[in-house]
């Protein structure tokens, strides 16, 4: 009951934040101009988002199978449904709850311990974070003089945070007992010995899922697959510009992904509101794109990125239910 209440509170808070940021984004909108942008849009181009977006998820599946390989050989057909279900849940619920569901579904199918499965999900997300950091550095190098001071600070802090997490995970894998002991030391210092022991055991189980970090060859493969994920995502943004007849530079797609990534850090369902604010308000402020076109782009980008994932996740979820019933 307590867990259900917490989830209900998170969902309610996410909806409130989404509503507030949507209002902030569209409160001064020129609605006739926005309607004109949509009326003149060439919607056929948006269909080109789907193959590029699908490609990014193919790379994600291959990457997850690679991360799981030190523990157990898992086929792509087994890994794909939990991954798509997890991303679907991330697209409709706040707080990245789909990552836990993804790990639980895979554990149920393969027998891999949940904590170890979840560790591979964390690694995958870490590589995504490092890729986003790389995109951030590229965008900053091109647009440093045009970025507001607050945006610069946020981009730098995010990059440093991802690198710090990487070092912690490497330490946990290489010196798992010593690192786990250091991480739970504050709990022991406060005499929460029982809690410290439980957390330490979880960290050691978690370290099992970090086996991929000890194999340089596998690290290179995971890195290459991560590049495939994010190049595919960059390509998936381009058709939106053509659909809305917007001029674009080569660094606009990574800039959009960086800003959308920051919007997704705030826990709203599917980044609703926060992603729209990042793209509908910050993007035109940085690039000089007209306000109405930027807001139209925010709406179309959000829809084309999330609706296909929700549909695919629902499809595989129903398939799983039928298989379980049989």
Over residues 74-100, mean pLDDT = 86
CA distances from 41 to 89, 156, 243 (A): 30, 36, 5
Residue 167: alpha-carbon gap to chain centroid = 20
Distance CA 64, CA 209 (A): 11
* Predicted structure pTM score: 0.79
pLDDT at 53 over 60: yes
> Which residues, 6 or more positions from 210, have their beta carbon under 8 angstroms from its beta carbon?
119, 123, 169, 172, 173
Tens-digit pLDDT profile for residues 113-139: 888 888 888 888 878 877 887 787 777
Asked if 63 and 222 count as a contact pair (C-beta separation under 8 A), the reply is yes
pLDDT (0 to 100) of residue 19 = 86
* All structural domains of the chain with their residue ranges: 50-235+306-316
Number of continuous H segments (helices) and E segments (strands) in the chain = 15, 0
Bigger pLDDT: 245 or 209? 245
């Amino acid at each position: 009951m307590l867990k259900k209440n917490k989830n209900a509170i998170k969902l309610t808070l996410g909806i409130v934040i989404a509503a507030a940021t949507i209002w902030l984004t569209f409160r001064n909108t020129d609605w006739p101009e926005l309607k004109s942008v949509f009326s003149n849009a060439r919607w056929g181009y948006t269909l080109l988002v789907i193959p590029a977006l699908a490609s990014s998820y193919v790379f994600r599946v291959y990457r997850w199978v690679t991360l799981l390989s030190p523990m157990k050989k898992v086929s792509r057909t087994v890994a794909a449904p939990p991954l798509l279900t997890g991303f679907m849940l991330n697209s409709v619920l706040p707080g990245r709850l789909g990552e836990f569901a993804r790990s639980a579904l895979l554990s149920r199918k393969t027998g891999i311990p949940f904590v170890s499965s979840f560790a591979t999900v964390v690694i995958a997300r870490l590589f995504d974070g490092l890729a986003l950091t790389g995109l951030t550095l590229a965008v900053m190098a091109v647009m440093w003089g045009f970025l507001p001071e607050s945006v610069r600070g946020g981009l730098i802090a995010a990059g440093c945070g991802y690198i710090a997490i990487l070092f912690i995970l490497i330490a946990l894998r290489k010196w798992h007992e010593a690192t786990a002991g250091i991480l739970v030391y504050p709990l022991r210092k406060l005499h929460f010995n029982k809690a410290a022991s439980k957390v330490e055991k979880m960290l050691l189980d978690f370290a099992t899922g970090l086996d991929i970090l000890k194999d340089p060859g596998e690290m290179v493969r995971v890195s290459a697959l991560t590049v495939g994920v994010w190049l595919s995502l960059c390509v998936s943004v381009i058709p939106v510009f053509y659909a809305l007849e917007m001029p674009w530079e080569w660094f606009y797609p990574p800039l959009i992904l960086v800003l959308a990534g920051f919007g997704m850090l705030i826990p709203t369902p599917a980044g609703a509101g926060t992603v729209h604010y990042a793209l509908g308000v910050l993007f035109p402020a940085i690039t000089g794109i007209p306000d109405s076109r930027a807001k139209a782009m925010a709406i179309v980008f959000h829809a084309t990125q999330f609706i296909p994932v929700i549909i695919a996740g629902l499809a595989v979820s129903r398939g799983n239910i039928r298989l379980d019933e049989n």
